[in-house]
Amino acid sequence: MSELTNTHSIDRMVVRLEHLDKLLNLAGEVIITSSTLHELQRDMVDASVQRRAPTENNLQTIKAADESSRRISQDLHDLVMAIRMVEIGETFKLFRRPVRDLARSLKKEIDLKFEGEKVMVDKALAERLVEPLLHLLRNAADHGLETPIERIHAGKHEKGIVLLRAVEREHETEIVVSDDGRGIDEKAVIERARLLGMIKPTETPNILNILCSSGFSTRQRATDTSGRGVGLDLVRTMVNEFSGTLEMEQTLTQGTTFRMKIPKLKAVNIIDGLIVRCGQSLYALSIDKVVSLQGIRTEEIQASLDRDRFIRYLGEPITLLDLQQLLGAEPSPQEKEGIVPVVVIEGKHSRIAVSVTEFLAPAKLVNVPLDTTMFGADAARGISGTCIISGGRVGMTVDVDELVAIATGEMLTQEEGHEDAQAFSDGDKAASLLDMGMGTQSGSAASSLPDTTLMKHSQEELINKAKLSANRDKIAARLDETGQKDLSGSDVSDLLDELTRGLMELQDSLLSLENQSDDGELMKGAFRRLHAAKGNFAMLGANNPAALAHALETLLDYLRNGRVQMSQDLMDLMLDGVADLIKATKLVPNEEVPENTQVRGRIDAIIRGLQANTAITDPDQLMGSTFTLGPLVELQLLGALKQGSGAYETFLRFKPSRQGDYLVAYLTLRKLCYYGTILASLPTVADMENGNCGGAIKILWATSLDEAKLKATLDELAPLYNITEHQSVPTNVFRYDLDAET
């Protein structure tokens, strides 16, 4: 079974023209605002030299420039986020081939359906969804859907349905994977978990937490499809990374549904932050993580044996910790006698309260992520980056989710003395809490993506760019070897981008053709993409992939002309060939692409078999066919013309008789040899000898007979050879295509 073909990382995106137009308009506004500020600066300098106060016009200009810059910055931010958005349908299409192969491997009938393909998601999320969705689809196909005979016995249609759906909501995107299979046997899951020691006999189990535990599987033995217990664990990890929630609904014998609810990405590196001061240090907390700001009297802060300090918020006790102390620094000094400024913040699964020195104003800030490669991932836990606050002051951006995870991890150790908690490293606490059932994902509030997550993807893209840039010299050297000296490194990148997109679209077209082989538009699209791929590989000097694309093109042409019928095996072969072409895009032009002799051999065997049976037996089709002449036949024809003979195309139709058509045609050819030289025939003599002949033949020949004598001769032969129709047209060599490849 083939895996999902994941293309090499592409460091560029398709941008809509409307977005570029908006960007140009905003660039123009920036230039205008800059010019206005430049003129204002000159006026203010003159006023300072002349020791006069700013005019009312100066003040109005400052106000207008401030409003304009704020609007432009917001518009730019919104536009950049819009540019990053892609249709989720492009990700969904990637799964058509793997699900098809799964169905064949598992001997099941699976109908993969899509809904909400036009829903827009951030490119970072679209890329990260591929592997988790693949695992959910595998589980649905292997564990969920029954075999056809089981489904019929259960009163279902023999073909199972797997649905991929995207739903856009106000603050989140919901990705759903559902099937109409057998559902999950919760008793079997719980029994297996207890057997593995994952839950205690008296513990109330959470089915989703069990299924998402690393290493858990209901299978006794792993297969190529599932059984290693990593799929759902990977899904939950990805969902947590994007601050989302994973939910499951299932009904025994009716099917299972998994819902991934991912908060909409709000910014790449821009946050709406609440600025607070702790001593001399400034910190920014994401506003959507802030629940409440309170000034708590000292006497309202309580303590108990099982909790160090806590306050009551809406009647509920909430642990109170010092923000700066939680980050590993000295406690925040309190400047107001008897009053403690407190911020109630919310992480993924719980809330805490943190004390600070002073609340400052909220502001829109640019977050600069910490370089973890330089300082280490644990150098500043709870801090996601730095930001510039008005007045040029530097502050630190707090990662609220991680801060709450640190706090709750410490509370777990202090309150329960859990043996396992003592062994957890700081980096494992947040994930371990969820594994141990300390909080349910369905109950957590939706929240925005931490800036570090998106910035991590941005850094990955930058790394990919650096790798591509580093390979430019190697690419250029390889191009010199293959003789493609006119291509630069950027040309190669463009060709590879075009190749990758075209081949993925080709794969999708072929999968659609399997069930719609008579769709002319699909066929044309597949031809265009194959032809473009062949040309691009040739430009890159990749001869083996170019030859493979040409062979696939020939096979597709036979399918279009009806000379070969659509079948699963034929589609398997063509999809395997396209998969090889996609793999080749990762090698060219840096390396020589080896030929997959197995796939190429199977394709060539089909082509040879079809070429050995190329006889055209339909008289109407035969009449419109042309001859393909080799150099030797061309010379014979030119020689005959030079000697004064005439060259003719002659079409002969026979009436049915007890003798085989091929025998009548063969005998007619032998007779015509007395009157001239037969240069070519359709069908060929070899076809006739093999019995591949219909009720007509077409010949190219040279004879000394003029048109009148030729007609008279054929009229005489007609009753002797059952000829019912004959037509002869004078011709010359320039009418023929001398290239046997075209």
Claim to verify: residue 163 and residue 181 sit in the same structural domain: yes
* pLDDT tens sequence across 135-156: 899 889 988 899 999 999 989 9
Q: Identify residue 108 by its one-letter amino acid code.
A: K
Asked if residue 94 and residue 77 are part of one domain, the reply reads no
- Are the beta carbons of 588 and 537 closer than 8 angstroms? yes
Q: What secondary structure letter does DSSP report for 229?
A: S
Residue 127 sits in the same domain as residue 36:
no
Look at residues 36, 55, 83 and tell me which one is the last residue of a structural domain: 83
Residue 462 belongs to some domain of the structure: no
- Rounded Cα gap, residues 169 and 533, in angstroms: 39
Q: Same domain for 130 and 249?
A: yes
Q: Are residues 400 and 547 in the same domain?
A: no
The phi, psi pair for 255, rounded to 5°, reads 130, 175
Whether the CB-CB separation of 351 and 338 falls below 8 Å is answered with no
Q: Using an 8 Å Cβ cutoff, are 269 and 277 in contact?
A: no
> What is residue 15's three-state secondary structure?
coil
Instruction: Answer yes or no: do 79 and 92 share one domain.
Output: no
> Would residue 465 count as lying in a domain?
no
Q: What is the dihedral of CA 561, 565, 566, 571, to 10 degrees?
A: -90
Mean pLDDT, consecutive 10-residue segments, the chain of 742 residues?
44 76 88 87 86 85 86 84 87 90 89 93 87 89 90 91 92 92 86 79 78 69 49 81 86 89 74 88 89 89 76 86 87 86 86 91 80 59 83 85 79 38 34 29 33 42 46 48 53 78 88 84 86 83 87 85 80 90 83 84 81 64 69 76 85 78 83 89 77 82 90 91 88 47 36
Q: How far is CA 277 from the centre of its chain?
A: 44
Closest C-alpha to 283, from 324, 335, 326: 324
Strand 393-398 to strand 281-286: parallel, antiparallel, or no bridges (unpaired)?
parallel
Whether 102 and 65 map to the same domain: the answer is no
Residue 454 within any structural domain of the chain: no
Which regions of 464-589 does DSSP assign to beta strands (E)? none
Please report how many Cα atoms fall inside a 13 Å half-sphere around the Cα of residue 130, on the Cβ side: 17
d(CA 721, CA 643): 30
DSSP-derived letter for residue 2 is P
Domain boundary (588, 611, 634) is at 611
At 22, the amino acid letter reads K
From CA 552, how far away is CA 532, in angstroms rounded? 12
Q: Looking at residue 5, what is its pLDDT? A: 43
Q: Residues 193, 296: one domain?
A: no
Residues 495 and 523 grouped into a single domain: yes
Together in a domain, 164 and 299: no
Instruction: Answer with the one of 204, 231, 263 that is the final residue of a domain.
Output: 263
Total number of domains constituting the chain: 5
Residue 8 falls within a domain, yes or no?
Answer: no
Query: How far is the C-alpha of 279 from the C-alpha of 702, rounded, in Å?
Result: 106
Domain presence at residue 207:
yes
Collapsed DSSP state (helix, strand, coil) of residue 368: strand
Q: Which two tokens stand for residue 230?
A: 């990593």
Residue 234 lies in a domain: yes
Question: Distance between CA atoms of 333 and 341, rounded to whole angstroms?
Answer: 11
- Which string of DSSP letters, residue by residue, matches 113-173? EEE-TT-EEEHHHHHHTHHHHHHHHHHIIIIISPPHHHHHHTTS-SEEEEEEEEEE-SSEE
Rounded CA gap, 664 and 666, in Å?
5
- Cα(680)–Cα(733) distance, rounded to whole angstroms? 13
Calculate the CA 146 to chain-centre distance: 28
pTM of the model: 0.58
Contact 633, 736 (CB under 8 A): no
Length of the chain: 742
Per-residue confidence (pLDDT) for residue 205, from 0 to 100: 78
Confidence at residue 611, expressed as pLDDT on a 0 to 100 scale: 64
Please tell me whether residues 512 and 559 are part of one structural domain: yes
d(CA 109, CA 102): 10
**C-beta of residue 708 within 8 angstroms of C-beta of residue 639:** no
> Per the domain annotation, does 314 fall within a domain?
yes
Radius of gyration of the chain (CA): 37
* CB of 360 closer than 8 Å to CB of 282: yes
124 within some domain: yes
Let me know how many helices (H) and strands (E) the chain has, helices first.
27, 21
Query: Containing domain of residue 34, as a range?
Result: 17-83
**Are 411 and 525 part of one and the same domain?**
no
- CATH code for position 568: 1.20.120.160
